[in-house]
Chain A
Amino acid sequence: MSTNNTTTDNTTTAVNHDHRDDAGRKMGMWLFLFTELLLFGGLFLVYSIYRFMNPADFSNGSHHLDVFMGALNTMVLITSSLTVALSITAIQKGNSKLALRLLALTILLAIFFLVNKYFEWGHKIHYDLYPGTALFKALPPGEGLFYVLYYFMTGLHMIHVIVGAVILAVMGKYIREGSINSSNYVLLENGGLYWHLVDLIWIFLFPLLYLIH
């Protein structure tokens, strides 16, 4: 592919001669997102089947979750998705400074989400509501199953939030260095796609865990 210009860094004049396949890179990102979708999809399926088999226990379990916390985190993630989308618009319009600020805001929102989760999990752990405790063993089996799935699904999602925030921080570094700019921003788009996936998963996790009683 890039046989020319291998020794020099991309200067502004070299960009035009560089052969890039932005569409291909984006498609590659989407293929990766599909594997993520099926990873969480499998968990959604396990959750639905067990809910179908233990309706009363699952209902009791979800009644104990704090809808306000879940709703707050939903708003935080939706807003962070907006700031990433705005950041891409900004870089396309050549406003690197604004793009950088919006990315920083996104990462702050990600941290806010994690702090929220810390309090939410912390509250349950404080009351011994986690696998292995005497209280947990005394729960009806279906309710125990609900909490195991709750911890596993929100935990796996939390890992994705952390990874997404790190990816966006790296994108911020590239914007500052100028390697992501108004004529080459597919990396930021792909980082944004990952972040939106994190949001998409939460859009389904929230009603499944918190709202369906």
Chain B
Amino acid sequence: MVEQKPHIVEYLTNIYVWIALATLTIITIWVSEFDLKLLTVTVALGVASIKATLVLMYFMHLRFDSKILTIMVLVTMIVFLSLIVFTFFDYSYRS
């Protein structure tokens, strides 16, 4: 297989991603001060997921590497999420 020309993520791109991550961290801490009831978990984990996506796409180069890696990551996520969903189904309907 012929080597693909490697993609270099510019210094500035990395720094922008860091700024986004830092901003999201501050937002999630700020939001946690309010009592949002059920939304608390959703917001906290939602922001964490956005941060994780940024790290995966840019710092871990998934966006620039072979698509097969992205597919593998997604499959792993689906396996993990089904594990959570099905376990919660079980516990939610126990009396």
A residues adjacent to B (C-beta < 8 A): 22-23, 26-27, 30-31, 34, 37-38, 41, 44-45, 48-49, 52-53, 67, 71, 74-75, 78-79, 81-82, 84-86, 88-89, 92-93, 189, 192-193, 196, 199-200, 203-204, 206-208, 211-213
- The reply to whether A89 and B9 contact each other, CB–CB distance below 8 Å, is yes
What separation, in Å, do the CA atoms of A37 and B21 have in the docked complex?
20
Interface size class, chain B? 35 or more
22 contacts between A and B (CB under 8 A): A23-B66, A26-B69, A37-B80, A44-B84, A45-B83, A48-B84, A52-B91, A53-B91, A71-B29, A79-B18, A85-B17, A88-B9, A89-B14, A92-B6, A189-B61, A193-B60, A199-B59, A203-B51, A207-B28, A207-B44, A211-B40, A213-B32
Pick from B25, B28, B48: contact of A78, CB below 8 A. Answer: B25
B residues adjacent to A (C-beta < 8 A): 1, 3, 6, 8-11, 14-15, 17-18, 21-22, 25, 28-29, 32, 40-41, 44-45, 47-48, 51-52, 55-56, 58-61, 65-66, 68-69, 72-73, 76, 79-80, 83-84, 87-88, 91
Interface centre among A49, A85, A196, A204 (most CB of B within 10 A): A85
Chain A: minimal CB distance from B87 (Å): 6
- The reply to whether B69 and A78 contact each other, CB–CB distance below 8 Å, is no
